[in-house]
Structure 1
């Protein structure tokens, strides 16, 4: 057994979410954007409980007591998660109540002020009360089923010296908040707050003795087992229905309550004491996402995604003409993702294009991509779509896309029961001068026009013949179970991606031991894999300089003597969600560069179809290296030193890598 040490996955992720929360007090962030970071922290935490905590609880219930690589059992992890989450919720409430609300008030923006309740009484009677249904709790009426993340009032009533109990579910059909303009102020009232203040109008003939607001979080981590159904579409639809009725993994209560009520909650929902979180504040921050103000200074400065200058000069030409002599590459959202939509649109309308193949993991409502694929099929082109039905929380939407595309005449397949297809690529086959030419698009991000404006990702278009052939082989594997994987341009998981990364690291170790320079830069979303972590520690001990730019969780513990002294770990949290995966290996001066859909995680290496694509174009390599260098020089980034992230020193003049790229992207490409 090695003497290496590792960060715990779940606790490391919670540290990442804490860094997100801290953006709410970052002096460089505009006020309403700060508020959004509070809501993002809360939303992230909801998903964390639905998936990660749910999975740990399933392990405990199954009697699984094996420690992870950080030497913590599932039960120990749950205990530490409970402590850390309680601390973060307390910090979040402090930021919201004592930092942001006073700042908002100075801008004449109020949230749940007590003094203007009379202004929303009509809203309560006309828009809220008609859809409320109080439910009595007694021997006849047991507690009804409560949907995931639904707010509920528990009310103790008195009448004729007798006590009665009731719950009041806040229906999901109601908006999360209402906005009124009063005395030149924007006044926001959450629906929960309005109902609370008018509870006596719901229970008109009773004396309300005590009440509290609570919210349930349910298990959303429902695995699809191969033996359950041969029809994956049917299995997904079945589990979407089951998810709505899954077990409770967290119960939030908005205030301190008597032990009697805690015991009631434990009994009703079959939970344990440490599943209950007393928030002493709001339990639902999602209303923030719908807040809208007109003052531009309250938001990030608007920007228009750019078209690379060199491409502007030839933009009026056909993409196919451009790609004969130039690969097209760019980074969104600084560059315009609509370039890819325009490329697809041109392919759909081009009479010489014979076929289109594409993978879909997540896409947006009103998707232009879906519309164009439908149009291509109706125009007689051969359209093949590999759609991932198991993309978490997008399953229902992807089922709809699958049916819609099939109805249009596309060939739709769903990949594998036991593997998620996370690869993002598109292939266009065009007839030119009596031969077939392949045009390939590979990306680190989804075909989603909405997230393309807020996620940083790399897009790469090429006419390279070898790339096209290997992507065809990949589609054949995903759609027809071909088993040829000896490719030069791309590596895929679960077949050979992890081994390829290990070989690249080993090469740096070998060169360093020969007295040559060893250098690795890896930009990732997350890193949690023992084999890769151990190999990085081995490389560090050999003298390889390793810079990791990891947005989220990270199992590697850097800057430990005689283990990881040559490893740095930085985390960039900002306006955009860092999502691109870019890898650099010095290779004795040959400087190999890759883009990838895969993080360095067990799930990405073993449980998903992922792509690692080597870039050979000199200009593209130079561009990607510039992105990495800008990230590494970011003074606003957090740095991990052993187990603790060092908070950057920020003031109103601090400029991070994202702001720098917004201002100078045309100079880089």
Structure 2
């Protein structure tokens, strides 16, 4: 049984007089997301995080925020403009939410940039990584960059004048620009121009090794007072400047005959959510391609980032021409677009990164021979015999994706016994080995059917390319159901074996993407359970044909049965606790938003059921409310890997049940997406999942406890206890020997 720290004893309280739909019992979804991103930022601020990993978290914070503005803020602004008065789960109007969001976000974003400029940048210099300002360069370095500008940058630039004869240019989404103030030498009149910093060029320009001299006074000047200088002199690891500074200090070439007075960087974010009328689209792929062309340009402006010293006249011009308000402006001093800091993760400085991690091959799969394309029979069928012996529980990235899920699909593609392969693809990598295996399977005469979700946000273009490639190889490709996103993670292999047909299934919590499989924590099970195989077959038939399956044997499927069954399981636990006093629920997910599920959890909590929720991101449930949620704890873990797995545990008076699958407890997952959650019925594997949950709940390094007022407090070891990072423990368990 999964254990946790016991809360104070309390008597179950009657809740008939309490309305669990009262908005005061819920956190705002948007503000809860901001608190999650703030926990990401904390990893960048925490001195225990290796320096280059701190740059990574600064970049992730910015990237997360870009998407938040493009989708969530954009949607709220559209609601305000349309006069929509629908209130959020906590009773806020769209305008009230926007005001609260801006008030909370401005100081957090300012903190991010201040920390980078005042702490991280000096620490980088202490480790011989110098992101210099142009003013600090010597003459030789400037001459080199001038040549670079003339040869590599100048031909790409297009300066755009802003005057009565030149209307204000369209500023594309997420583009970094320079607002340039120039003076006409003949008339003495000041004019404005916009120069876009091209994305096709590297954001940070390194200086060659023979020009990496850094002035001694600069080294001292950039040293943070609390950073111990590195005693041993060694050559710099990297010296360079940002592309926008190279452009800014060579603007004279763009404006001959003019005097460049000033320049100010700024960055624009636009609404980038797709609006596809599926009911009216004759061809869904074509409709999405049209919307993608619109996205490249972008919709209305939702944010402008600019320096605090931008002149009022220029600032007013941007506000007027971009049709924004002061609330939409974020004043940021220093480097803009910190998401590009991810580029520095490629530096060969292992001492400034997390220890390298090579996922372990699952113990049950270690004995399989390496894939041999010239001898596909025999060895590769061993993976199927291994599955026949016992279900296999996979835990990525602790266990290898390539030697398990990828091998499963590749084995099927070359297996003479395989007659069909069916898969759902929500997101995959640009060089997907999974897709290549599916193409090979089709070439080998295996019937292959793939559902590619074209509406996977920000992966639409990539998925369209794969869909076209698969279709050209003879794969049956479908694009899902109208009005629903197909988010489930399923793979089905049908084999002809001696005297029978047998189905092998993978049900997972994560995408079939080998790159994110090394960065996200996800779970999956390989099984040949006949009832699950039959369920997956029925589900694929409903996705590719006209079946309206309303019941499944084992799988919990959204939007058909998942919501109903989860509510039944929570209610059953409440009843079991009232009868036996041992009610226990543990659920791990990315987000908890759905009001009906939260109400059910409140009812269970008010009855005394002990509930632990491991929710990485958004959580609208308030723990610790007297008489309602005193027995409910909510913890968020933000560490090296992105916690992405979904697990649901119910004690059931000792007849424990554990489920894994693709769905969070969000309204969109339960109502508007195709999801699949499977029971883990093998007692050994169920115990493994309980152990994983217990390790996560015991984390005192990367775990944050949600408070009744919405604050998150990071755990620290108490009373001399040892620091325990759940992710480090799980790595050690997967590979007891020293990581490669």
Task: Give 1:505 shift.
Answer: 0.4
Tell me, yes or no, if structure 1 residue 223 matches structure 2 residue 243: no
What is the aligned partner in structure 2 of residue 92 from structure 1? 112
User: Which of residues 295, 301, 322 in structure 2 aligns to 1:248?
Assistant: 301
Aligned match of 2:354: 300
1:116 paired residue number:
137
The CA distance in 2 between the partners of 1:315 and 1:461, in whole Å, is: 18
SS of 2:357's partner is: coil
Q: In the TM superposition, what is the alpha-carbon distance from 1:314 to its structure 2 partner?
A: 5.6
Conserved in 1, the CA contact under 8 Å of 2:204 and 2:243?
yes
Q: Cα RMSD between the aligned structures? A: 1.8
Deviation at 1:134, TM superposition (A): 1.1
Counterpart in 1 of 2:704? Answer: 638
1:225/1:418 contact within 8 Å kept: no
Task: Give yes or no for contact 1:228–1:235 (8 Å, CA) kept in 2.
Answer: no
The alpha carbon displacement at 1:365 in A equals: 1.1
Structure 1 residue 313 displacement after superposition: 4.2
Which stretch has the larger CA shift, 509-518 or 658-667? 658-667
Kindly indicate whether residue 147 of structure 2 is the aligned counterpart of residue 126 of structure 1: no
Aligned counterparts of 2:295 and 2:154: Cα–Cα separation in 1: 29
Structure 1 position 433 matched with structure 2 position 498: yes
Question: Residues 621-636 of structure 1: matches in 2 within 5 Å?
Answer: 621-636=686-701
Q: How far did residue 66 of structure 1 move?
A: 2.2
Q: Which residue of 1 aligns with 2:395?
A: 331
Q: 1:416 to 1:117 in 2, by over 3 A?
A: farther
Q: Secondary structure at the residue paired with 2:624?
A: coil
- Is residue 558 of structure 1 aligned with residue 623 of structure 2? yes
Matched, 1:170 2:197: yes
Task: After superposing the two structures, state which structure 1 stretch, 552-561 or 131-140, moved more.
Answer: 131-140
CA, structure 1 residues 116+83, in 2 after alignment: closer, same or farther (shift >3 Å)? same
Corresponding residue number in structure 1 for 2:16 = none
| 376 and 301 in structure 1: CA distance in 2 versus 1, 3 angstrom threshold | same
C-alpha contact 1:426 1:441 (8 A) present in aligned 2 = yes
Which deviates more from structure 2 when the two are superposed, residues 487-496 or residues 384-393? Answer: 487-496
Partner of 1:290: 343
Displacement, 1:117? 5.9
Separation of aligned partners in 2, 1:179 and 1:648 = 40
Number of corresponding residues? 668
Extract unaligned runs of 5+ from structure 2. Answer: 1-18, 214-234, 371-378
Which of the numbers 108, 125, 133 marks the counterpart of 1:105?
125
1:134-173 C-alpha deviation (Å, 9 max, x unpaired): 1111122112222211111111211232121111111222
Q: Equivalences for 1:53-202 in 2 at 5 Å? A: 53-113=73-133, 114-116=135-137, 118=139, 119=141, 120-159=145-184, 160-180=187-207, 181=209, 182-183=212-213, 184-185=235-236, 186-202=238-254
SS at match of 2:137: helix
Q: Distance in 2 between matches of 1:125 and 1:351?
A: 59
Give the match's secondary structure for 1:244.
Answer: helix
For 2:558 and 2:510, the matched residues in 1 are separated by 17
**Offset of residue 273 of structure 1:** 2.2
Counterpart Cα distance in 1 of 2:450 and 2:629: 44
Query: 1:265 and 1:84 mapped to 2: Cα distance?
Result: 24
Secondary structure in structure 1 of the residue aligned to 2:465: helix
Structure 1: gaps (5+ residues): none
Query: Displacement, 1:653?
Result: 7.9
SS of corresponding position for 2:25? coil
Q: 1:353 and 2:418 equivalent?
A: yes
2-side partners of 1:379 and 1:308: how far apart?
28
Structure 1 match to 2:385: 321
The SS at the match of 1:45 is helix
SS state at 1:436 partner: strand
> By how many angstroms is 1:487 displaced?
1.5
Question: Which of 593, 598, 621 lines up with 1:533 in the alignment?
Answer: 598
Conserved? CA contact 1:155–1:166, under 8 Å = yes
| Residue deviations 1:481-500 (CA, integer Å, cap 9, x gap) | 31223223101111111111
Whole-angstrom distance in 2 between the partners of 1:92 and 1:178: 23
**How far is 1:56 from its partner?**
0.6
CA distance in 2: counterparts of 1:276 and 1:367, whole angstroms: 40
Aligned residue among 502, 514, 524 for 2:567:
502
Say whether the 8 Å CA contact 2:637–2:643 is kept in structure 1: yes
- Larger deviation, residues 250-259 vs 3-12: 250-259
Q: Does 1:40 align with 2:68?
A: no
**Which residue in the other structure is 2:728 paired with?**
659
Alpha-carbon displacement from aligned partner over 1:328-384 (angstroms, at most 9, x marks no partner) = 111000000011111111111111110000000000011111111111111111000
- Cα distance in 2 for residues equivalent to 1:227 and 1:356: 29
Query: 1:208 aligns to what SS in structure 2?
Result: strand
User: Does the aligned pair in 2 maintain the 1:176–1:286 contact within 8 Å?
Assistant: no
Q: Describe the shift of the 1:389–1:191 C-alpha distance in structure 2 as closer, same or farther (beyond 3 A).
A: same
Alpha-carbon distance in 1 for matches of 2:110, 2:272: 25
Q: Distance between the aligned counterparts of 1:402 and 1:215, measured in 2?
A: 34
Aligned position for 2:374: none
Report SS of the residue matched to 1:528: coil
Q: CA deviation at 1:234?
A: 1.2
Deviation of the 1:25 alpha carbon: 2.3
Q: Distance in 2 between matches of 1:163 and 1:70?
A: 50
279-288 vs 75-84, greater mean Cα deviation: 279-288
> Secondary structure in 2 aligned to 1:230?
coil
For residues 287 and 491 of structure 1, the distance between their equivalents in structure 2, rounded to whole angstroms, comes to 41
Q: 2: CA distance between counterparts of 1:358 and 1:45?
A: 32
Secondary structure of the corresponding residue to residue 524 of structure 2: strand
CA distance in 1, matches of 2:712, 2:423: 39
Q: Structure 1 length normalisation: TM-score? A: 0.97
Distance in structure 1 (CA, Å) of the matches to 2:368 and 2:313: 73
User: Does 2:444 align with 1:379?
Assistant: yes
Moved more, 388-397 or 644-653: 644-653
Rounded to whole Å, the distance in 2 between the matches of 1:571 and 1:193 is 39
User: Which residue, 606, 610, 617 being the options, matches 2:671?
Assistant: 606
How high is the TM-score relative to the length of structure 2? 0.88
Is the contact made by 1:28 and 1:654 (CA closer than 8 Å) also made in structure 2? no
2:218 maps to: none
Instruction: For 1:302 and 1:117, locate their aligned partners in 2 and report how far apart those are by CA, in whole Å.
Output: 37
Give the whole-Å Cα distance in 1 for the aligned partners of 2:508 and 2:335: 39
In 1, the alpha carbon distance for the partners of 2:175 and 2:273 equals: 18
* Secondary structure of 1:600's aligned partner: coil
Structure 1, residues 268-311: CA drift from partner, whole Å, max 9, x if none?
Answer: 11222211211123221133122232221111111211013343
Q: Please say which of residues 221-230 and 161-170 is displaced more in the overlay.
A: 221-230
Bigger shift: residues 436-445 or 139-148: 139-148
- The residue that corresponds to 2:715 in the other structure is 648
